[in-house]
Amino acid sequence: MRQRLNKTYPYPVLSTYTDDYIDGKFESNVSSKINGFDLELQLETTVENDTLVNLLNAGQAEIVFHIECPVTGFREVVTTHGESKTELLSHHKIRDLVEINTFIVAKERIDNFSSPSFNEDYEDMVINIDADCVLAVAEELFVTVPPKIQEKLENNETFINIIPNDDNSIKEISVYFDRSDKLLIKIPNAEYSKYSLLWGSSNNRPIFTMMIIVNALFSALVYLKEKDPVELQTALDDSSWVRSLDYALKTRFDTELESLSKKNLDELYSLAQKMSESPFEKSVSNLMNMGGEA
């Protein structure tokens, strides 16, 4: 939603493109970083006007961030009363560019709205503001979406490989850490063809990701957690899948491989799910759509 910088209101609005206020400031700022497979936005504002600050503190007004991706059509509204806000945007919903427009909006009717900072044109006016009316407008912000945010762990070029188990006596899924190139997952041979067929449906992938990939990643994290510093360095030197996992942890999850030893099992299981795009919610939704009973 691109702002119309020439938009006018029948009452005073604090902005950089009007002279409705003789002083005061309303600015917004955003910083961004990759958080797993999401884009994390840190949203902040600066309000320098006593009248508007008092309205925010009293709960009569709120700050509204309108977040939009023009490429995908994604839209989201985030509100605060002045505090900074962290918002996670899924890589499924955004691409290329995110636009952020920020406003101060009345939450309720405000009768006899006035401020010492009003331009003299408004001195003799009785101004009543209805709920949802805009009181201040900040300049539009833009965030470029990093291309690598759309990469996925289960792609063939990543460090996980799923193959059938040639030993027909084994009926369980097995995970092997001793290969240098891939974290190897073996599925019972008799079920592998069914798994391959079902994986072809995008609706089934979150379910299998929860069943197989999450547990394999959890096992890998526990395996590395239990290594002493010398063994961990040897694993990094000898195994490309360990180096790939190390890179993913650092760049996406702000986690050092050495810090795994300090994490408990609950934290590691949560991390394994985040590394797999937290597939549980999507799995349940897809199962319900397939005809699951409540």
Q: What is the CATH number of the domain that holds 79?
A: 2.60.40.10
pLDDT top residue among 99 and 93: 99
Query: Are 173 and 136 in the same domain?
Result: no
Looking at the predicted structure, is the pLDDT value of residue 92 above 80? Answer: no
What does the pLDDT average to over 81-99? 88
Residue 176's closest CA among 239, 226, 233?
239
- The CA-atom distances, in angstroms, between 24 and each of 14, 119, 203 are 8, 12, 52
- Mean residue pLDDT across the chain: 88
Q: Which helix (H) or strand (E) holds 283?
A: helix 280-289
CA 241 from centre of chain: 26
Query: Are 198 and 217 in the same domain?
Result: yes
Residue 162's closest CA among 127, 141, 143, 189?
189
**Share of residues in the chain with pLDDT > 70 (%):** 93
Query: Are 146 and 173 in the same domain?
Result: no
Helix segments in 8-154, DSSP class H? 50-57
pLDDT at res. 147:
66
pLDDT at res. 154:
41
CA 257 from centre of chain: 22
Cα Rg of the chain, angstroms: 26
Answer whether residue 273 is part of any domain: yes
CA angle 276–227–212, rounded 5-degree value:
25
Q: Which domain holds residue 92?
A: 25-150
**Residue that is last in its domain, among 124, 150, 176:** 150
Task: Report DSSP letters for 55-81, one per residue.
Answer: HHHTTSEEEEEEEEETTTTEEEEEEES
**Residue 6 phi, psi (nearest 5):** -100, 10
CA pair distance 219, 92, nearest whole angstrom: 27
Query: Are 103 and 223 in the same domain?
Result: no
Answer whether residue 18 is part of any domain: no
pLDDT band at 149 (very low <50, low <70, confident <90, very high): low
Q: How many residues does the chain have?
A: 294
Domain count, the chain: 2
Strand, helix or coil at 212?
helix
Answer whether residue 235 is part of any domain: yes
What does the pLDDT average to over 85-90? 91
Query: Are 41 and 130 in the same domain?
Result: yes
**Share of residues in the chain with pLDDT > 90 (%):** 60
**Residue that is last in its domain, among 127, 150, 173:** 150
Query: Are 167 and 237 in the same domain?
Result: yes
**Least reliable range by pLDDT among 153-167, 182-196, 278-292:** 153-167
Query: Are 140 and 165 in the same domain?
Result: no
pLDDT at res. 1:
47
CA pair distance 86, 35, nearest whole angstrom: 11
Query: Are 32 and 106 in the same domain?
Result: yes
Contact 276, 269 (CB under 8 A): no
Looking at the predicted structure, is the pLDDT value of residue 246 above 60? Answer: yes
Query: Are 144 and 231 in the same domain?
Result: no
Looking at the predicted structure, is the pLDDT value of residue 124 above 50? Answer: yes
**In what order do the strands lie in the sheet containing 85-90?**
25-35, 38-48, 85-90
pLDDT at res. 294:
44
Query: Are 180 and 236 in the same domain?
Result: yes
Answer whether residue 12 is part of any domain: no
Answer whether residue 6 is part of any domain: no
pLDDT at res. 3:
53
Looking at the predicted structure, is the pLDDT value of residue 257 above 60? Answer: yes
**Residue that is last in its domain, among 121, 150, 179:** 150
pLDDT at res. 155:
44
Residue 74, number of CB atoms within 10 A of its CB: 16
pLDDT at res. 153:
47
Residue 225's closest CA among 183, 252, 185, 256?
256
Strand, helix or coil at 87?
strand
pLDDT band at 199 (very low <50, low <70, confident <90, very high): confident
Query: Are 110 and 136 in the same domain?
Result: yes
What are the percentages of helix, strand and coil residues in the chain, rounded to 5? 35, 30, 40
pLDDT at res. 156:
36
Answer whether residue 8 is part of any domain: no
Query: Are 182 and 123 in the same domain?
Result: no
CA pair distance 132, 161, nearest whole angstrom: 53
Answer whether residue 43 is part of any domain: yes
Answer whether residue 20 is part of any domain: no
